[in-house]
Structure formats: C-alpha cells, structure tokens
C-alpha cells in the first residue's frame, strides 16, 4: 500500500460509499435545479455548494465517531435542547411572526433544529437503557420525552418542524415495538384531539390547511402557492420543458422557487421522467438507510438509524406532497435540494450517524 492509498483508506474507512454516492448525486441535481431556479445566479449556487461542503465535512466527522460516544451525547444534547427551547419561549426573537430564534451573543440559533436529532437520540437511548424490561410505562416515558419539546415548538409556532420531530419520535416508538393496539389508540386519540389542535393553530396555519381542500378559494393568498406549483408541474408533462426553460419558474409565477417549492422547478423542467428518477434516487438512499438499520446491532443504533431514515423519507413526502397539492403548505424543505444550510447540516449529521453505525465494528452483546 502506498502512502496515498493508505491516506485514502484512512479518510474513507468510516464512509459508506453507497450512501455517499446517493447523497452526492442528489446534491448535484440540487445544484443544477438551483442554478435554474435562481435564474443562473452563480453566487447563490456557490453559496449552496459551500453549504454542501460544510455539511459533508460534518457528516464525515460524525461518521468517524464511534456510536458509544454519540450515545453518550444523547442525554446532554436533549437537555440542552430543551433548555434552549424554554429559553426561546421566554426570550426568543420574533421573525416573520414566529418566535424560533435565540440570540446567544455571537449568533442566532434555532434550537428546534437541534431537537430534530436530539429527540430521537434521547428516545432511542431511553429504549436502549430499558431494553430488557420494556413495558408500557417505558413507552409512556418515551412519549413524554417526545411531547415536551413538541409542545414548545408548536407554540413558536413551527408546524413543519413539529411535524418532523413528531414523526421521528413516532418512528422510534413504532420500531421499538409499540403494540398495534396502542398505535390504534393513539390514532384515535390524535383524531380526537384534532379539534383541540385546530384551536391551537394560528390563523395562517388554518388557512393553509383549508386551502388544501380548495386552493381556488384564495387564489392570490394562501392558495397561490399551490395553484402555481401544480400548474408548473402539470404543464411540465412527461418530459418537461427543459432545463432553464420552465415558464412558471422563469417568469416568476412560482413562489419560493429556490427553497420550499424547488421541486416544482425540477418537475416543470424535467417532467414525469425527472420525477421518477428523483424518487428512485431518494429510494436508493432510503433503501440503504434501511439496510443499515437492519444490520445495526444494538437497540440504540437500530432505533436511531430507522428514525433517521424514515424522517428523511418524511421530509421528501411532506415537501413533495405539499408542492403537488395533496398536503397543506408547511415549511419543510426538499432534502439535499432546497436552498439553505441549516437543514442540509441536520440531514447530513443524520447520515453521518448512519455511516458510523454501518462502518464501526458491531457491538455484539454477550
């Protein structure tokens, strides 16, 4: 072995090539679409490329950390996150009508972003600790660990993040073997609590939900996004209008076309064929996540890997579902493609954990 191959081996030994390949392909598509969505704005595209490099670096770093260390971080991360969330509720800064940010002197941070990983980590840690004697009480405690931050985030308000954290927590519960009877009970309870939840929603959130059922009710307000994005997608047809030739995109009919609605840009320009390709690529990444999950050797790693993988899927489904007009408009980005650094980092942090689970020597219980 030469020095350079040894170095290469040293650098890549905790990287899962399969996962990395999928991620890089998606990022490449992301940059291409962003180039079109920003009307060939190179500075924004390179900004995003930098975001990606930062996130990839973080992913690599995390992949190199053995799982025991990550597991040890679960409780402190969760507690810090919860404290910060309380801090937000008390002293948070308000932007665009939502109290989500906390000024910690040097910069503003959004603690809810941290909780996207901290909550499933905490729950997985909890289930791992009580693996042997798993009882109903343990599920109740884990649920409480989930509901506490959820309540705080919903109040900010941040429907998108609430939804993502709720689902990541639910996946942990589900994979930990929550009995079907209780799941059914939870579903019924959730349906029953809908009116309560509804009353907690802000007016704009309610409008968004209502608009889902009839976007034409408010064509210039809440319905505008959905109407224009479905027009973009539908008019894309089977093969699309071609890269940089989407009329909805380039004549500014599409709102938020480089962030939450970037899928409409992609779909308008690449059509049904592009959509299928994109879904397949996502499926590859999800599938790899599931393989890693299936191979994971401990309760903690299984639960966290499953949760990360399924949450990744949830991002995709909620975002695309909203853009194609079958889900209400909530602020959920399209993973690896939407413009923005924060969600990119969170996402790749998760993938770093997946890689670490896959590549570090399996812990076998004796």
Shortest Å, Cβ 294 to another protein: 6
Q: Which helix (H) or strand (E) holds 235?
A: helix 222-236
Q: Does 243 bind another protein (CB under 8 A)?
A: no
Assess contact for 318 and 334: CB atoms under 8 A: no
What are the residues whose beta carbons fall under 8 Å from the beta carbon of 56, sequence distance 6 or more?
Answer: 23, 348
Shortest Å, Cβ 227 to another protein: 8
- Using the rule CB under 8 A, which residue among 60, 174, 204, 243 binds another protein? 174
| Of 156 and 301, CB closest to another protein | 301
Q: Does 272 bind another protein (CB under 8 A)?
A: yes
Q: Does 279 bind another protein (CB under 8 A)?
A: yes
| Of 112 and 307, CB closest to another protein | 307
Q: Which stretch binds another protein (CB under 8 A): 187-195, 203-211, 310-318, 349-357?
A: 310-318
Is the bond into 157 cis (omega within 30 degrees of 0)?
yes
Q: How many CB atoms lie within 10 A of CB 142?
A: 24
| Of 141 and 231, CB closest to another protein | 231
How many residues touch another protein under the rule CB under 8 A: the total is 46
Backbone dihedral angles phi then psi of residue 115, each to the nearest 5 degrees: -70, -20
- Using the rule CB under 8 A, which residue among 120, 157, 215, 271 binds another protein? 271
Q: Which helix (H) or strand (E) holds 307?
A: helix 299-323
Q: Does 18 bind another protein (CB under 8 A)?
A: no
Shortest Å, Cβ 34 to another protein: 20
Q: Does 354 bind another protein (CB under 8 A)?
A: no
Q: Does 120 bind another protein (CB under 8 A)?
A: no
| Of 111 and 333, CB closest to another protein | 333
Strands of the sheet with 98-103, listed across from one edge: 93-95, 98-103, 108-109
b/e code 334-346 from CB counts within 10 Å (16+ = b): bbbbbbeeebbbb
Q: Does 169 bind another protein (CB under 8 A)?
A: no
Using CB under 8 A, which residues numbered 281 to 300 contact another protein? 282-283, 286-287, 290, 293-294, 299
Assess contact for 287 and 312: CB atoms under 8 A: no
User: For residue 119, what are its two tokens?
Assistant: 């909550």
| Of 139 and 282, CB closest to another protein | 282
User: For residue 6, what are its two tokens?
Assistant: 């040894």
Q: Does 175 bind another protein (CB under 8 A)?
A: yes
Q: Does 320 bind another protein (CB under 8 A)?
A: yes
Q: Does 324 bind another protein (CB under 8 A)?
A: yes
Chain mean position to CA 6: 35
DSSP-derived letter for residue 108 is E
Distance from C-alpha of 336 to C-alpha of 232, rounded to nearest angstrom: 21
- Using the rule CB under 8 A, which residue among 19, 233, 304, 355 binds another protein? 233
Q: How many CB atoms lie within 10 A of CB 177?
A: 11
Chain mean position to CA 227: 25
Distance from C-alpha of 267 to C-alpha of 236, rounded to nearest angstrom: 6
Residues lying near another protein in the complex (CB under 8 A): 131-132, 171, 174-175, 177, 228, 230-238, 247-248, 251-253, 267, 271-272, 275-276, 279, 282-283, 286-287, 290, 293-294, 299, 302, 306, 310, 313, 317, 320-321, 324-326, 365
């Amino acid at each position: 072995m030469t020095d350079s191959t040894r170095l290469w081996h040293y650098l890549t030994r905790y990287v899962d090539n399969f996962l990395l390949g999928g991620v890089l392909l998606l990022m490449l598509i992301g940059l291409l679409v962003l180039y079109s969505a920003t009307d060939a704005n190179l500075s924004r595209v390179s900004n995003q490329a930098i975001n990606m490099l930062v996130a990839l670096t973080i992913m690599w770093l995390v992949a190199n950390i053995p799982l025991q260390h990550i597991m040890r971080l679960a409780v402190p991360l969760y507690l810090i996150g919860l404290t910060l969330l309380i801090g937000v509720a008390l002293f948070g800064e308000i932007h665009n009508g939502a109290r989500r940010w906390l000024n910690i002197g040097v910069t503003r941070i959004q603690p809810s972003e941290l909780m996207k990983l901290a909550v499933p980590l905490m729950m997985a840690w909890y289930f791992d600790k009580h693996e042997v004697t798993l009882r109903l009480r343990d599920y109740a405690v884990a649920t409480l660990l989930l509901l506490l931050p959820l309540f705080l985030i919903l109040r900010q308000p941040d429907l998108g993040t609430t939804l993502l954290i709720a689902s990541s927590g639910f996946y942990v519960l589900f994979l930990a073997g929550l009995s079907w009877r209780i799941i059914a009970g939870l579903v019924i309870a959730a349906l029953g609590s809908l009116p309560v939840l509804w009353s907690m929603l802000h007016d704009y959130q309610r409008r968004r939900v209502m608009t889902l059922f009839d976007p034409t009710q408010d064509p210039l307000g809440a319905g505008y996004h959905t109407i224009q994005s479905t027009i973009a997608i539908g008019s894309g047809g089977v093969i699309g209008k071609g890269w940089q030739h989407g009329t909805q995109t380039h004549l500014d009919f599409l709102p938020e076309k480089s962030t939450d609605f970037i899928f409409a840009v992609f779909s308008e320009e690449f059509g049904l064929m592009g959509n299928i390709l994109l879904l397949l690529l996502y499926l590859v990444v999800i599938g790899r996540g599931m393989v890693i999950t299936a191979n994971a050797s401990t309760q903690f790693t299984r639960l966290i890997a499953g949760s990360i993988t399924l949450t990744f899927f949830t991002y995709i489904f909620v975002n695309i579902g909203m853009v194609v007009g079958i889900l209400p408009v909530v602020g959920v980005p399209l993973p690896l493609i939407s413009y923005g650094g924060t969600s990119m980092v969170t996402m790749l942090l998760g993938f770093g954990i997946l890689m670490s689970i896959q590549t570090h020597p399996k812990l076998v219980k004796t």
